[in-house]
Amino acid sequence: MNPESPRVVLITGASRGIGAATAKLAAQRGYAVCVNYRQNEAAARKVVDEIVAAGGRAVAVGADISIEAEVVRLFRTCDQALGRVSALVNNAGILETQMRVEQMDADRIRRVLATNVIGSFLCAREAVRRMSTKHGGAGGAIVNVSSGAAKVGSPGEYVDYAASKGAIDTFTIGLAKEVALDGIRVNAVRAGFIYTELHASGGEPNRVERVKELVPMKRGGYPEEVASAILWLLSDEASYTSGSFIDVAGGK
Ligand SMILES: NC(=O)c1ccc[n+]([C@@H]2O[C@H](COP(=O)([O-])OP(=O)(O)OC[C@H]3O[C@@H](n4cnc5c(N)ncnc54)[C@H](OP(=O)(O)O)[C@@H]3O)[C@@H](O)[C@H]2O)c1
């Protein structure tokens, strides 16, 4: 990519947790940042304010990525405010209360798949339409945020969530091959147990403290540690890396 061209990254679910840490690091690396959120506008504004106070460029855009029309509006708003995206981080993801599969109803499974899988597809579609050299774009990079859950399946907690991340892994492999000649690289990070508010959604805010003994490093990870891997995959240093995965999981 031409180093003169402005770099614009759209990060879904960037109001909190891994997305917020990625937004701040991306701004430090010179990206203009589109900070997407679903409902927590105050948290998203705080991320934007921090970036702007440090001399960067950022906008907060509320949009539920599970809804197609909202994804289209999200990217159009980003086009107008910052310019065409050169990078996408498919980070927004949800899980619901821990339970066994035999207790799950279809609505819950649909919600998890709608945000984690369909949302990621829709955002990637909008990004490819803007980045692809076949559509007159300048190329770009996409990073999907997957999970170690894709490999272990999360029995007794949220097999639906784990399966959604398995889908993200396959999506990463397929899309990487599909757009390899469009100037677009597609990779994923598989995060381990990271200290964020996600675990409260499962009904266990202190889950990382319980499970950290399973990690070879015997500790949970921090959002900034995941953000570093994401920024490397987005960068030109990763120019020959596509369809790859970085496990950011303390050796697990
Ligand atoms: N934390 C971990 O241990 C861990 C491990 C492996 C993988 N991951 C993955 O890492 C990613 C980020 O997780 P996190 O732990 O940082 O989560 P988090 O702290 O719960 O933050 C989730 C973010 O996603 C946003 N979001 C949720 N649903 C959305 C939707 N439909 N549309 C747009 N934005 C939406 C939230 O927006 P609001 O603030 O507006 O609600 C928030 O910004 C997820 O894909 C998760 O699966 C996390």
69 CB-side CA count, 13 A:
0
Domain of 98: which CATH number? 3.40.50.720
Q: What is the pLDDT of residue 130?
A: 98
- Atom in ligand 1 nearest the alpha carbon of residue 146: 7
Vertex 245: Cα angle to 141 and 205 (nearest 5): 100
Rounded to an integer, the average pLDDT of 140-167 is 98
192-209 residue pLDDT tens: 999 999 999 999 999 999
Residue nearest atom 24 in ligand 1 by C-alpha distance = 13
Report residue 215's pLDDT band, with 50, 70 and 90 as the boundaries.
Answer: very high
Residue nearest atom 17 in ligand 1 by C-alpha distance = 198
Could you give the residue ranges of the DSSP H alpha helices within the chain? 17-28, 41-53, 68-81, 106-113, 119-131, 149-152, 159-178, 198-201, 207-211, 223-234
Pocket flag, ligand 1, residue 154 (CB < 6 Å): no
* Rounded distance from Cα 19 to ligand 1 centre (Å): 7
Residue 125: inside a domain: yes
Residue span of the structural domain in which 142 resides:
8-248
Residue nearest atom 14 in ligand 1 by C-alpha distance = 17
Residue 3: inside a domain: no
Query: Is this prediction's pTM over 0.95?
Result: yes
List 31, 161, 195, 222, catalytic entry:
161
Rounded to an integer, the average pLDDT of 239-251 is 98
Residue 240: inside a domain: yes
Rounded to an integer, the average pLDDT of 58-79 is 98
Pocket flag, ligand 1, residue 115 (CB < 6 Å): yes
Q: Known catalytic residue: 161?
A: yes
Residue 2: inside a domain: no
Pocket flag, ligand 1, residue 164 (CB < 6 Å): no
Residue 83: inside a domain: yes
Q: What is the pLDDT of residue 180?
A: 98
Residue 1: inside a domain: no
Q: What is the pLDDT of residue 223?
A: 98
Number of domains in the chain: 1
